[in-house]
C-alpha cells in the first residue's frame, strides 16, 4: 500500500486498513513501515501552519475563555476575542458560570457594536469547549467566518 501510494503516511495507511476491518495499533503500522524502509510521507505542498497564520493574520479571529481565581477562592471566566492582525484583544464578558446561551449572548452583544465583516475577518479559531455549543458558534461567528 505504501509503495502504491507514496504520498500516504502511516496514519493514512492505518486508517485505510482499519476501514477494511484490520484491527491494529497505529504504532504497529509505523514500526512495520520503518522496518521495510518506507519513511514518513513526503512534505505536502502548501504553506506550513505558521506561514498560513502569518499570511492570513489580518483575517483571523480567535476566541476563548480565560479563568481567574479571586481572593475569595471563587473562579470567574472571561470570554476574550483576539484579532490576530492587530493583536487587539476584546473582553466580551465575565461570568462565574459560562454556558452556551451566555456565550451566544456575549458574542451577539459584541457583534452589535462591531461590524467584523467590514473589517475583513474570514476565520474564527476556537477550541472544542462545551461553552461553544452549535448555537453559540453559529451566532457568535460573523457570516463570513468559519469555525
d(CA 34, CA 17): 17
Confidence of residue 131 (pLDDT cuts 50, 70, 90): confident
* Lowest model confidence (mean pLDDT) among 40-44, 64-68, 121-125: 40-44
* Mean pLDDT computed over every residue of the chain: 79
Confidence at residue 110, expressed as pLDDT on a 0 to 100 scale: 82
The pLDDT score that the predictor gives to residue 19 is: 87
pLDDT in tens, 59-107: 888 889 999 999 999 999 999 999 888 888 999 999 999 988 898 888 8
How confident is the model at residue 74, as a pLDDT?
Answer: 93
Grid cell for residue 32: 512495520
Domains of the chain: 1-44 (no CATH), 49-140 (3.30.420.10)
Is there a contact between 66 and 129 (Cβ–Cβ < 8 Å)? no
137 or 6, which is more confident:
6
Give Cα separations from 76 to 41, 92, 111 (angstroms).
45, 13, 23
Instruction: Residue 107: count other Cβ atoms within 10 Å of its Cβ.
Output: 23
Q: Look at residue 108 in the predicted model and tell me its pLDDT.
A: 83
The pLDDT of residue 65 is 92
Q: Return the pLDDT at 147.
A: 41
Under DSSP, is residue 93 helix (H, G, I), strand (E, B) or coil?
strand
Amino acid at each position: 500500500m505504501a509503495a502504491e501510494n507514496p504520498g500516504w503516511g502511516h496514519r493514512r495507511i492505518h486508517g485505510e486498513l482499519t476501514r477494511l476491518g484490520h484491527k491494529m495499533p497505529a504504532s504497529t503500522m509505523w514500526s512495520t513501515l520503518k522496518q521495510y524502509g518506507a519513511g514518513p510521507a513526503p512534505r505536502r505542498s502548501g504553506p506550513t501552519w505558521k506561514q498560513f497564520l502569518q499570511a492570513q493574520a489580518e483575517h483571523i479571529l480567535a476566541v476563548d475563555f480565560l479563568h481567574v481565581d479571586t481572593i475569595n477562592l471563587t473562579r470567574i471566566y472571561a470570554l476574550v476575542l483576539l484579532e490576530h492582525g492587530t493583536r487587539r484583544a476584546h473582553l466580551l464578558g465575565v461570568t462565574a458560570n459560562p454556558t452556551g446561551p451566555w456565550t451566544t449572548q456575549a458574542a451577539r452583544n459584541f457583534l452589535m457594536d462591531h461590524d467584523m465583516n467590514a473589517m475583513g475577518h474570514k476565520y474564527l479559531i476556537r477550541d472544542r469547549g462545551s461553552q461553544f455549543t452549535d448555537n453559540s458558534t453559529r451566532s457568535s461567528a460573523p457570516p463570513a467566518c468559519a469555525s
